[in-house]
Amino acid sequence: MSTPDNNPADTPSKTPSKTPSNTPGNAPDAARTAVGTATGDTPWATGEEIIRFQDVTKRYGRQVVLDDLCFSVYAGKHVTLIGPSGSGKTTILRLLMTLIKADEGSIRVEGDYLTHEERNGKLVPAGERHIREVRKKIGMVFQQFNLFPNMTVMRNLTEAPVRVLGLSRDEAEQRARELLEMVDLTEMSAKYPSQLSGGQQQRVAIARALAMRPRILLLDEVTSALDPELVAGVLDLLRDIAHHTDITMLTVTHEMNFARDISDCVMMFDHGKILEAATPEKLFNDPEHTRTREFLNAVL
Partner 1 sequence: MTWGLWNNWMLPGIWITIQVTLYSAAIALAVSFTIGTARTSRLWIVRFLSGIYFELFRGASALVLMFWLFFALPIAAGWQLVPMWAGVLALGLTYGAYGSEIVRGALAAVPTAQREAGIALNFTKLQRLVRIELPQAWPEMIPPFNNLAIELLKGTALVSVISVADITFSANLIRFTTTESAPIYSIILVMYFVLAFLITRGMRVLERHAKAGVGKAPERSGGLWSKLSLRRGRSEAAGAITAGGAR
**Interface positions with partner 1 (CB under 8 A):** 97-99, 128, 132, 135-136, 138-140, 142, 144, 146-150, 152, 159-160, 163-164, 191-195, 208-209, 212
Are 117 and 133 in contact by the 8 Å Cβ rule? The answer is: no
Query: How near is the Cβ of 275 to partner 1 at its closest, in Å?
Result: 28
Starting from the edge strand earliest in sequence, which strands make up the sheet with 104-109, in order? Answer: 63-74, 49-60, 104-109, 112-113
Please answer whether residues 67 and 272 qualify as being in contact, where contact means their C-beta atoms are separated by less than 8 angstroms: yes
Look at residues 216, 23, 206 and name the one whose alpha carbon lies nearest to residue 109. 216
- Taking the least distance from each CB to partner 1, the nearer of 93 and 242 is 93
In the complex with partner 1, the residue whose CB is nearer, 147 or 234, is 147
Q: Which is nearer to partner 1, 33 or 148 (CB)?
A: 148
For partner 1, the closer of residues 112 and 276 by Cβ is: 112
The least distance separating partner 1 from the CB of residue 184, rounded to whole angstroms, comes to 21
Question: Sheet containing 248-252: which strands, arranged edge to edge?
Answer: 138-141, 216-220, 248-252, 78-82, 265-270, 273-278
Give the CA-trace dihedral at 262, 263, 269, 275, to 10 degrees.
150
* Minimum CB–partner distance for residue 225 and partner 1 (Å): 11
Q: Give 194: exposed, middle or buried? Use CB within 10 Å, 0-12, 13-18, 19+.
A: exposed
If the CB atoms of residues 138 and 242 are measured against partner 1, the closer one turns out to be: 138
Please, what is the minimum distance in Å from the beta carbon of residue 101 to partner 1?
Answer: 12
Measured at the CA of 17, the angle between CA 37 and CA 70, to 5 degrees, comes to 35
Q: How far is the CB of 251 from partner 1 (least distance, A)?
A: 15
CB of 87 to partner 1, least distance (A): 21
Residue nearer to partner 1 on the CB measure, 139 or 280:
139
Q: Report the 3 state secondary structure along 237-261.
A: HHHHHHHHCCCEEEEECCCHHHHHH
